[in-house]
Structure 1
Amino acid sequence: MNIRKTIQQLFRFGREQALSCIFPLVIFSSLALTKFVQLPFLPRYDWLLIIFLLTQWWMLRSGLETRDELKVITLFHLIGLALEIFKVHMGSWAYPEEGYAKVFGVPLYSGFMYASVASYLCQAWRRLQVDLVKWPPFWIVVSLADAIYLNFFTHHFWIDIRWWLSAFVIIVFWRSWVTYMVGGIMYRMPIVLSFVLIGFFIWIAENIATFFGAWKYPNQAEVWKLVGLGKLSSWLLLVIVSFLIVATLKRVKRSRE
């Protein structure tokens, strides 16, 4: 492939990625806007919830998102909100600002940050015609996803097994690949590498989100600080469980068609 063709393919790939990131981009833009511009009548957290609900409605009405994708995103919203309520209760981070739409100290807009990960995965899956090669058995994938999600809760009371889970992910998916299409040409990437790349970019996104005050870690209470690389492992596992849920739902739907 010559240089011109390579640049064209990179442009196509970037375009599809950008279109898949509309929801995350709206989230970051809204966080920035509401940090520096005080909107009237309602607290910031409530405005964020309204903006995200309207964005969700617009994406569905415009055809950027399908009804099946909305179901997946709603599931992620609930999963994320449950995790947020627990983590805030345990003091892992906080939402210090006022808001009417808060449950146990957690603003309802927070679930959309998890939903945006699902939105990206669903749209990239569809736009790039993603397929899975040598995917592990269903029961292994479901059990691993459950174990990763539960560890976010249980490590507060028991040992943290995230590194064991990470090693198990490498073992289980060592021979698995993800294929995707760009401009009619098929490419492939090891699943484990895709996990790491997505997790890294979400860690960058986390730094942007905390800078704009989406939430605060204890060490950011007085002044913003870079989120430590230790959090990268948490986001990596979150990406893995998100990918596993989306992949499982996609395969179940395909088996029923």
Structure 2
Amino acid sequence: MTNRSTASAPAFGLRRLDDHLLAPKAWRGLSGVARFVVEFVYFGVKEARACLFAGLFFAAIFLVPRAGVLGLPRYDLLLLIALAIQAWMLWARLETWDEFKAILLFHVLGFALEAFKTSESIGSWAYPDFGYSKLLGVPLFSGFMYAAVGSYIIQAWRLLELRVVHHPPYWMAALIALAIYANFFTHHFIGDYRWYIAACALGLYARAVVIFRPFDRERRMPLLVAFVLIGFFVWLAENISTLFSVWQYPDQLGAWSVVHIGKWSSWSLLIVMTFTIVANLKHVKARIYIPE
């Protein structure tokens, strides 16, 4: 099955990044090492642009002192910074209202998971510092960490002009995404079935290929490879965040240690879920979109 609907969906009303880079037309005839360098640079620029919200937000996480600033607790200051970044991106048209609404969904899903995981009965991790904006023991800024992942995928999809070939049926992908999210909750009561779910996802997306355009030519990558790679970088960001004591796992309370490598699989599955939500939203929008 070839997924053409995601390619033909409206690009949320924003112009292609290529229009702003104004690359010399002569570059389009490059080959060999020169072409690789140009495409690599363009890919890096577009990836950096896609990570704009995540980059600014996590920079704030690393730069804001644990003691806060001028009496304002760190968690509350991070919430204000995240809201300011979001408002600026909307004002500057770096993000549209459609994208914002999708990112808000990730914020809600992330906060629900955080509230469950940090509850006294579960205690998977904790936010040890004080904050006025804590709800159910969870600082409200935490939802933006999940929203940052959703923002990256949405932005990268548009900037790299993503298409997916051999995309599985959307209803089957939705069931896998639902199972992934549910397992984050239910594994505390009925066992961890992540590897069974991962095996199902592996079979479902085995033929799926993502086509993207770094510069002027399309390139291909197995979609499963993209899931694993993005999950790895999120796992690295989690290590840095726990090093700065933004949150802590039980085994990090005495002294910091590397987050267990098993979390990489959890993050990769979360990327599958996030990607599925974005793909389904684009699929629905493509079906109801009427060109002007």
**TM-score above 0.5:** yes
Q: Is 1:12–2:42 an aligned residue pair?
A: yes
Letter of the aligned partner of 1:98 in structure 2? F
Deviation of 1:36 (Å):
6.1
Q: How far, CA to CA, are the matches of 1:248 and 1:179 in structure 2?
A: 17
Identify the match of residue 47 of structure 1 among 71, 77, 82. Answer: 77
| Aligned twin of 1:131 | 163
Q: How far, CA to CA, are the matches of 1:214 and 1:245 in structure 2?
A: 27
Query: How many correspondences in the alignment?
Result: 257
Letter of the aligned partner of 1:226 in structure 2? V
TM (norm. structure 2) is: 0.86
Q: How far, CA to CA, are the matches of 2:156 and 2:245 in structure 1?
A: 28
Segment drifting more, 225-234 vs 110-119: 225-234
Deviation of 1:35 (Å):
3.0
| Aligned twin of 1:247 | 279
Secondary structure at the residue paired with 1:179?
strand
Q: Is 1:69–2:99 an aligned residue pair?
A: yes
Q: Is 1:113–2:178 an aligned residue pair?
A: no
Secondary structure at the residue paired with 1:189?
strand
Identify the match of residue 127 of structure 2 among 77, 89, 95. Answer: 95
Letter of the aligned partner of 1:116 in structure 2? A
For structure 1, list consecutive stretches of 5 or more residues without a partner in the other structure: none
| Aligned twin of 1:196 | 228
Q: Deviations over 1:164-200 (max 9, x none)?
A: 0111111011111111112111011111111111111
Deviation of 1:41 (Å):
2.9
Q: Is 1:228–2:260 an aligned residue pair?
A: yes
| Aligned twin of 1:155 | 187
| Aligned twin of 2:53 | 23
Is the contact made by 2:68 and 2:74 (CA closer than 8 Å) also made in structure 1? yes
Q: How far, CA to CA, are the matches of 1:35 and 1:231 in structure 2?
A: 26
Letter of the aligned partner of 1:25 in structure 2? G
Q: How far, CA to CA, are the matches of 2:244 and 2:54 in structure 1?
A: 14
Letter of the aligned partner of 1:67 in structure 2? W
| Aligned twin of 2:11 | none
Q: How far, CA to CA, are the matches of 2:157 and 2:173 in structure 1?
A: 18
TM (norm. structure 1) is: 0.98
Letter of the aligned partner of 1:26 in structure 2? L
Deviation of 1:92 (Å):
0.2
Is the contact made by 1:31 and 1:213 (CA closer than 8 Å) also made in structure 2? no
Q: How far, CA to CA, are the matches of 1:14 and 1:103 in structure 2?
A: 37
| Aligned twin of 1:79 | 109
Q: How far, CA to CA, are the matches of 1:21 and 1:109 in structure 2?
A: 18
Q: Deviations over 1:201-234 (max 9, x none)?
A: 1111111111122211111112211111011111
Q: How far, CA to CA, are the matches of 1:119 and 1:228 in structure 2?
A: 25
For structure 2, list consecutive stretches of 5 or more residues without a partner in the other structure: 1-30
Larger Rg: 2
Is the contact made by 2:67 and 2:73 (CA closer than 8 Å) also made in structure 1? no
| Aligned twin of 1:219 | 251
Identity of aligned residues (%): 47
- Which structure 2 residues correspond to residues 29-40 of structure 1 after superposition, within 5 A? 29-35=59-65, 38-40=68-70
Moved over 4 A (4+): none
Is the contact made by 2:251 and 2:257 (CA closer than 8 Å) also made in structure 1? yes
Is the contact made by 1:195 and 1:240 (CA closer than 8 Å) also made in structure 2? yes
Name the structure, 1 or 2, with higher relative contact order (CA <8 Å, separation 6+). Answer: 2
Q: How far, CA to CA, are the matches of 1:81 and 1:192 in structure 2?
A: 26
